[in-house]
Structures are given as C-alpha cells and as structure tokens.
C-alpha cells in the first residue's frame, strides 16, 4: 500500500509541475508590466520548488530546520532576481 501512495504523490507532483510550467509560459507571453510578469513567474517558481522539495525530495516529514533551509534558497533567489531585473529596468 505504501508503494501505491508514493506513486500517487509523484503523479500529483508531476501534474502540478506541468500546470505550473504552462502558467509560467502563459505569464511570460503576456503583454503586461515587467513587475507583474516578474511577480507571477517568481511566485510560480517558488511554488514549483515547494512541490519538488516536498514531493520529489520527500522532505515533507523532515525537521523544520531542514525545510526552512530548503525553502529559503528559492525564496532568496527569487528576491535577488526580482531586485536585479527591476533595478536594470529602472536604470
């Protein structure tokens, strides 16, 4: 039974990642402001990283410390990317 539930989790993760990838492409093709595109795409990227961390890496049962480290990295990179792109546009 354990094997079956793991397969279901992986299948759901795969479907969520595919939908999130399609949403990223959609937002990337929109004719909207850079800030709006950036916000949408980076939020989707952080959600995707959460699916990978919890689903594929199976860290949903890990200690809070490890989860904060793993979730902190994509959030930090999203902030760096956003600041860099918005600063380049303003300057």
Cβ neighbors of 71 (< 8 A, separation 6 or more) are: 49, 50, 53
pTM for this entry = 0.83
Q: Please count the structural domains in the chain.
A: 1
Per-residue model confidence as pLDDT tens digits over 1-53: 566 788 898 999 999 999 999 999 999 898 888 889 999 999 999 999 999 99
What is the mean pLDDT of the segment spanning 76-80?
Answer: 95
Q: What is the pLDDT of residue 91?
A: 74
Distance of CA 73 to the CA centre of its chain: 11
Q: What is the pLDDT of residue 60?
A: 86
Q: What is the pLDDT of residue 2?
A: 64
Which residues span the domain enclosing 56?
2-90
């Amino acid at each position: 039974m354990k094997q079956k539930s793991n397969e279901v989790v992986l299948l759901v993760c795969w479907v969520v990642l595919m939908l999130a990838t399609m949403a990223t492409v959609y937002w990337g093709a929109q004719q909207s402001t850079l800030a709006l595109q950036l916000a949408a795409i980076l939020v989707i990227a952080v959600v995707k990283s959460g699916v990978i961390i919890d689903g594929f890496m199976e860290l949903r049962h890990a200690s809070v410390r490890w989860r904060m480290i793993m979730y902190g990295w994509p959030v930090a990179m999203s902030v760096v990317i956003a600041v860099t792109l918005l600063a380049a546009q303003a300057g």
